[in-house]
Amino acid sequence: MSRVFISGSSTGLGLMAARLLVEQGHRVVLHGRDQFRAEAARRALPDAEAVVFGDLSSIAQTRDVAEQVNKLGRFDAVIHNAGVGYREPRRIATEDGLPHVFAINTLAPFILTALIGRPGRLVYLSSGMHHGTTANIDDLIWKKRRWQGAEAYAESKLHDVLLAFAVARLWPGVLSNALEPGWVPTRMGGPDAPDDMDQAHCTQAWLAVSDDPGARVTGAYFYHMRPRTPNPSVHDVDLQNQILEACRKLSGVALPA
């Protein structure tokens, strides 16, 4: 039996993965953006061990989420599921002055990775959209460019794979991997998304707990429990280090050695 924390698990794929893990006999801690969503998550999955809450668009609240998780004890796995989509028509600034998409999709998983007690496994949700973009380290917060919501989302999902691969390299005792769930008809994906909803949540649960040799790897990228080739830039160690350093400067949080 494993103990798993899942960010962004009050609805959607996060809740589906949590329900699957609970059905398999694992202990799961859920997360909602606020107390209302946390209570809704508890009602949706009453067998969850606990629920934490905090808005991951806020650096301060993300730090508080990490503190809440740490107070619950050590976890075997953390699934970085929380994310927002590509439909934001303008650059929405957070309380920290950062683009909403970047704050939740890139900076929050970095902060949670750095501050939550090191688990045995880390799982990061990316997207197929990461294949066709670049990291744009020199303009992560979209001050130099005209806003494009889809491109900002794609960049953030590339950042997630860079983070997963950087952690795999720097923390050899941790299995750190990334995946794309497919374009599925969640609230984020929209009703016309064509991929298989029944498969979308399985890979993150499998990577978090399975003893299958295929899941007990690190620094790999998956789609529907099969390895898939990611954007080649994620193997660039200099680029990995650049995203870590940029996130450190923006958040004031450093990834432990």
Residue of 54, 165, 56, 180 lying closest to 106 (CA atoms): 56
Q: Is 157 a catalytic residue?
A: yes
Element spanning 178, H or E: strand 175-179
If phi > 0 it is left, if psi is from -120 to 50 it is alpha, else beta; for residue 196 that is beta
CA distances from 219 to 61, 137, 164 (A): 29, 21, 7
CA distances from 101 to 34, 93, 95, 147, 239 (A): 18, 9, 13, 11, 20
CA dist., res. 177 & res. 163, Å (int): 9
- At residue 221, φ and ψ (nearest 5 deg) are -130, 140
Catalytic one of 157, 221, 223, 249: 157
Order the strands of the 3-6 sheet from edge to edge.
Answer: 50-53, 27-32, 3-6, 77-80, 121-125, 175-179, 221-223, 226-227
Spatial CB neighbours of 232, under 8 Å, sequence gap ≥ 6: none
Catalytic one of 124, 153, 221, 223: 153
Q: Is 124 a catalytic residue?
A: no
Q: Identify the residue whose tokens are 């973009």.
A: 133
**Catalytically annotated residues:** 153, 157
